[in-house]
Structure 1
């Protein structure tokens, strides 16, 4: 079991690991750790840096300053906001598409599909979860009015994103109509949950996907059509977990959204890539891994903006 360290001890621990305090003083670093972030989360971004293999500094990080960790954590925070906005857009479109299909289905009244879904043994938990929110200000009226016999247009407002995907899969199983690509949506769900829970997205930018898994053909084809991205760059970058996940979110977004809101979002991301991300670009010039990941994503976004 690791010992709980004081802020001063954490600073010394980082210095022992080769982390410098040139861009940010030790005193400022202490203030940041006390008031803005915590060590475990900030330290997660160390994974983007190599360690010395030999010599007096063996085991210590190469060219890693506390300021670089702080900057990565800030960029990551803004990226999570963007991802959440995109995923909320995706969730809304899925609900609209599902309800439209059920409304036009002569075999459905909007209630029957929900009853069938909840009747499955594993789904009784969904009713319990909805019931647990009865005291909340935003859903209590709907729950009190309809519980436990919900029409689909109410039901989708009360269930989680994961259960919404599960419900779409169930509808496809019953009627043979695909609302979404569940294989891709599982990745979107994972990224959404990570962003919603403030998990790090950029802590392991070049960590590879499992060697037993292959890049989805749709995702690969999505990038193949983009200019200025070589085959080598595409294959290498899509093998990274972060890039694969983020590009999947972009692809799903591109597939579902209408052109005007889609372009508005892409331009927002482009401004982020050209602005806040490179505000302190000198911090990362010597890190080829971070620079390479940035350049690939910038090209992808630039290709999406029209």
Structure 2
């Protein structure tokens, strides 16, 4: 069991690991660790740096300053907020599509699908009942339970349950609303962002060997300009990069032009603005720079395409 360290001890521990305090003073680091973050959260980003393999600095990090850790943690925070916005957009789009399909389906009355789904998923029924404690769901559940119409049910279930409901509808009618495997990736990324988990703390982490990049995502990337085959193959082996690209693909597939253009412009501003505010910190880190350049090219392609579509529609 590791002993809990005071902030002064945390700083000394980082120094023994080769982390310097040149760009940010030790006093500034103390303030940051005391008021804005905590050691485990900030130190997680050190995984993006290599260690000396020999010599007197063996085992110490190469070219890593506390300012780099602080900056990566801040960029990650902003990224999580953007991901949550995109995932909320996606969730709403899926609800709209599902409700529309059920409404236009002559074999459905708006109630039977939900009734059958709940009969097959007792755990979901219990989860919905537990939401009565929320002020925001209580009135809806109290009014309609146990016979929920689809347009009410989608308002009181989790994102994961919504995906299961879409899969249930597909099995019944053969109509694909979303790709279940891709949406599992989006759900995992959404949950990580919602729980403030670190996302860019280890850009070298490889995609699980049991996973493969979906064919449609590969084809989507192939149609983008300025991205070589080698860059595509190398970057898509990264777990983080793969998940972000899947999110972008799903977003591009589901969303209408206006919200899509707005969100891409927001992502572009983030990548060309906040992310590179201290780009000199990472100039020597090929992994960080390579990941950034790959994602920046994708977002630039999406932004330009969304702008062109919007321009054509206005004509």
TM-score grouping bracket, smaller chain normalisation: over 0.9
Q: Return the alpha-carbon distance in structure 1 between the equivalents of residues 135 and 214 of structure 2.
A: 41
**1:279 Cα offset (Å):** 0.3
Q: Given the alignment of the two structures, is residue 62 of structure 1 paired with residue 62 of structure 2, yes or no?
A: yes
Match of 2:115 in 1: 115
Q: Return the alpha-carbon distance in structure 1 between the equivalents of residues 35 and 148 of structure 2.
A: 45
Q: Return the alpha-carbon distance in structure 2 between the equivalents of residues 15 and 262 of structure 1.
A: 45
Q: How does 1:271-286 map to 2 (within 5 A)?
A: 271-286=269-284
The equivalent position to 2:217 in structure 1, one of 200, 205, 219, is 219
Q: How does 1:151-190 map to 2 (within 5 A)?
A: 151-190=149-188
1:225-280 per-position Cα deviation (integer Å, ceiling 9, x unaligned): 11111000000001111110000000000001111211111111001111000001
Aligned length: 304
Match of 1:193 in 2: 191
Cα RMSD for the two superposed structures: 0.9
Runs of 4 or more above 6 Å deviation: none
Match of 1:250 in 2: 248
Q: How does 1:84-123 map to 2 (within 5 A)?
A: 84-120=84-120, 123=121
Match of 1:7 in 2: 7
Q: Return the alpha-carbon distance in structure 2 between the equivalents of residues 108 and 85 of structure 1.
A: 32
Q: Return the alpha-carbon distance in structure 1 between the equivalents of residues 169 and 75 of structure 2.
A: 39
Q: How does 1:125-144 map to 2 (within 5 A)?
A: 125-144=123-142
Match of 1:53 in 2: 53
User: Residue 150 of structure 1: SS of its match in structure 2?
Assistant: coil
Where does the alignment leave 5 or more consecutive residues of structure 1 unmatched? none
Q: Return the alpha-carbon distance in structure 2 between the equivalents of residues 13 and 150 of structure 1.
A: 56
Match of 2:24 in 1: 24
More moved, 133-142 vs 239-248: 133-142
User: Residue 155 of structure 2: SS of its match in structure 1?
Assistant: helix
TM-score between the two structures when normalised by the length of structure 2: 0.95
Where does the alignment leave 5 or more consecutive residues of structure 2 unmatched? 305-315
Q: How does 1:281-296 map to 2 (within 5 A)?
A: 281-296=279-294
The equivalent position to 2:235 in structure 1, one of 211, 217, 237, is 237
More moved, 267-276 vs 1-10: 1-10
**1:135 Cα offset (Å):** 2.7
**1:296 Cα offset (Å):** 0.6
Q: Return the alpha-carbon distance in structure 1 between the equivalents of residues 208 and 132 of structure 2.
A: 42
Q: Return the alpha-carbon distance in structure 1 between the equivalents of residues 128 and 208 of structure 2.
A: 36
Match of 2:265 in 1: 267
